[in-house]
């Protein structure tokens, strides 16, 4: 016995329409996921490259900062040396002015030399007594040892050489 149908059989699709729709959505989702993953991988590569460049720049800036700090320290040292020199120069100027103020009118100063612990004065005085009364007391009050030698000039005046010593703190001898 054969069974007959009044309908003509239709071909059945492998997937139904709603299944096809779901498969298209899944494929689109996978494609979006893969493209987003590739985008993130590419972005991570670019960020890694930029990070290396920034680290290199940061290292160079750190080296430059260290160099500038060394230069700054050197400048501060130079500034302090300069200030010390200026202070010593001002003190020396004041001491020379004070020394020249010590010279009385009758005595003529020819030259003088200043060393660390010694002052040598060359000059002319009318008499030994004028020198001993007007010039010697201030020198003896300042210096610890004073040695003066006189040379008589043809006109009757005296040329003198006065060596005045300050006892050094480092060296206890003259």
Alpha helices in 103-135 (DSSP H): 128-130
Structural domain of 90:
17-102
13 vs 174, more confident: 13
Binned at pLDDT 50, 70 and 90, residue 154 comes out as very high
Tally of domains within the chain: 2
Model confidence at 172, pLDDT cuts 50, 70, 90, reads very low
Look up the CATH number of the domain holding residue 173: 3.30.1360
The answer as to whether 1 is a domain residue is no
Same domain for 165 and 145, yes or no, is yes
Same domain, 93 and 133: no
Q: What is the mean pLDDT of residues 63-91?
A: 93
For residue 80 the two structure tokens come to 């302090």
Percentage, residues of the chain above pLDDT 70: 95
Q: 80-104 pLDDT, tens per residue?
A: 999 999 998 888 788 778 777 777 7
**Strand, helix or coil at 87?**
helix
pLDDT mean over 69-82: 95
Q: What is the pLDDT of residues 93-149, one digit of tens each?
A: 887 787 777 777 888 888 888 888 888 999 999 988 988 888 888 888 888 899 999
CA distances from 69 to 30, 61, 77, 79, 82 (A): 57, 12, 12, 15, 19
């Amino acid at each position: 016995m054969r069974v007959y149908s009044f309908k003509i059989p239709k071909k059945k699709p492998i997937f139904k329409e709603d299944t096809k729709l779901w498969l298209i959505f899944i494929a689109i989702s996978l494609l979006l996921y893969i493209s987003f993953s590739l985008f993130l991988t590419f972005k991570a590569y670019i960020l890694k490259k930029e990070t290396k460049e920034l680290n290199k720049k940061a290292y160079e800036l750190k080296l430059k900062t260290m160099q500038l700090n060394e230069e700054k320290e050197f400048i501060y040292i130079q500034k302090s040396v300069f200030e010390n020199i200026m202070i010593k120069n001002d003190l020396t100027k004041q001491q020379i002015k004070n020394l020249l103020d010590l010279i009385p009118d009758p005595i003529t100063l020819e030259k003088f030399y200043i060393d660390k612990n010694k002052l040598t004065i060359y000059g002319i005085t009318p008499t030994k007594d004028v020198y001993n009364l007007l010039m010697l007391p201030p020198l003896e009050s300042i210096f610890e040892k004073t040695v003066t030698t006189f040379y008589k000039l043809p006109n009757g005046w005296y040329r003198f050489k006065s060596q005045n010593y300050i006892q050094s703190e480092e060296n206890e001898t003259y």
